[in-house]
């Protein structure tokens, strides 16, 4: 686990779970990448897409009910495996 996820874990452990969590990701704006990111989230997740001014990148926000800190970290680790994705 990278240092960024260790820091995130420490912050998240201060919260009570289950709870709704807001994921924020930035990725190249192409259909394949967006589809891979969208597939990470349940059908009930509240997804919002915001393309950059130039359209080269897209910001994806997803609100989803998460059961625990481990499931949040796991989702971010999966997202990090997608080429070009930046987690916020």
Residue spans per domain, the chain: 3-87
3-state secondary structure at position 60: strand
Q: How many CB atoms neighbour CB 30 within 10 A?
A: 12
Predicted pLDDT at 88: 76
pTM of the complete model: 0.90
Kindly report the CATH number that applies to the domain delimited by 3-87: 3.30.70.260
pLDDT beneath 70: ranges in the chain: 1-2
């Amino acid at each position: 686990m990278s240092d960024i996820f260790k820091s995130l874990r420490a912050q998240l452990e201060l919260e009570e779970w289950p709870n709704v969590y807001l994921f924020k990701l930035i990725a190249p704006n192409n259909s394949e990448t967006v589809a891979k990111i969208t597939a990470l989230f349940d059908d009930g997740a509240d997804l919002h897409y915001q393309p950059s001014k130039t359209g080269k990148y897209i910001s994806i926000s997803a609100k989803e009910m998460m059961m625990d800190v481990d499931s949040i970290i796991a989702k971010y680790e999966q997202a990090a495996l997608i080429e070009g994705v930046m987690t916020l």
